[in-house]
Amino acid sequence: MKKTSTRLADGRELLYYDSRDDAVRDAVDRRPLDAVSTTVEIRHDPLLGDAVAVASHRQGRIHHPPADECPLCPSRDGRLTEIPAADYDVAVFENRFPSLAGGAGRCEVVCFTPDHDASFADLSEDQAALVLEVWTDRTAELAVLPHVRQVFCFENRGAEIGVTLQHPHGQIYAYPFVTPRTELMLRSLAAHRAGTGRNLFDDLVEREREDRVRVVLEGVHWIAFVPYAAHWPYEVHLHPGQRVPDLLALDEAARTEFPQIYLELLRRFDRIFGRSDTRTPYIAAWHQAPFAGTNDVNRDDFALHLELFTIRRTSGKLKFLAGSESGMSVFINDVPPEAAAERLREVASE
């Protein structure tokens, strides 16, 4: 993998990641851009103990542009975009409308492919492997920033999820705090360790491996299953066979097998509802152990895993977060996890 760092016209960092070592990325951003101005403020909720990012500048972000005005496509035929090059393998740049910025963190956009009409599921195994290397490299670089405590790589896909740009891309958030979801996991880990002397993630994965009923897919180095208490209609957790705290710690065998397993999962998600003309909206989220300032946390107890879920509960119907979910954080799942796992096994590639 070759990495080339450059700057956009407004000073934001842009990185090209290429599978070929002889790739040359010297195109210059010729757009007349003003310097980025952000108004990010982190406020702490004294009742819930969590944090809220207030980012009013995001009201002006680009919203569902036509395909010929997509800012994530390469710059071609006189049309200038966020990517000055006429082509790329994977491109990463600082978000022009970040939810976190400066001492309040950092937000990056990851463009998986120059093909506007593709999706992650359309990537080859080599392309997916390159994206994994990019996630790993960005995690390593962001984790050492003095104000960053947690790095979150994720993809939102589909207008139903709230995506405003249809080009296949993901994002990376570098938080200046440990997120509430991770704090809950860490508390559960500590309580389980204190009560049993064992690791909670290991016990959960072993339970699913023994029960089998919720296992969707298993390779030599990865296992994917619907969790026993799944929150979403179709939700899969993907774990490496060997527990590691973050992407940096994955061994070569797990990296090699990942594209096969992950691409198959994504393609099954697109077949869940039996329609070939639409793509299933989803969120894919990497859970990694916190980094800086975690002396009170045993990082080795945490288990890197990817959570993949859709808000669609059946063809043409969405799972809305209504009163119980939004008001009390109590999820009500319309699809039994065992039924979801069975359906995901039924739509396996031939």
Give the tokens for residue 335: 């699809």
The beta-strand segments (E) located in 87-149 are: 90-94, 106-111
**Class of residue 196 by CB neighbours under 10 A (exposed 0-12, middle 13-18, buried 19+):** exposed
| Marked catalytic residue, from 169, 221, 239, 305 | 169
Q: Angle between the 125-143 and 252-269 helix axes, to the nearest 10 degrees?
A: 120
Calpha distance 218→71 (Å, rounded): 38
Question: Which distant-in-sequence residues (6+ apart) come within 8 Å of 71 by Cβ?
Answer: 62, 65, 81, 82, 165
SS3 267: helix
DSSP secondary structure letters along 48-104: T--EEEEEGGGGGS--S--GGG-TTSB-BTTB--SB-SS--SEEEEE-SS-SS-GGG
Work out the number of other CB atoms within 10 angstroms of the CB of residue 217. Answer: 20
For the question of residue 237 being annotated catalytic, the response is no
Calpha distance 270→277 (Å, rounded): 10
Give the tokens for residue 15: 């990185």
Q: Which residues are catalytic?
A: 169
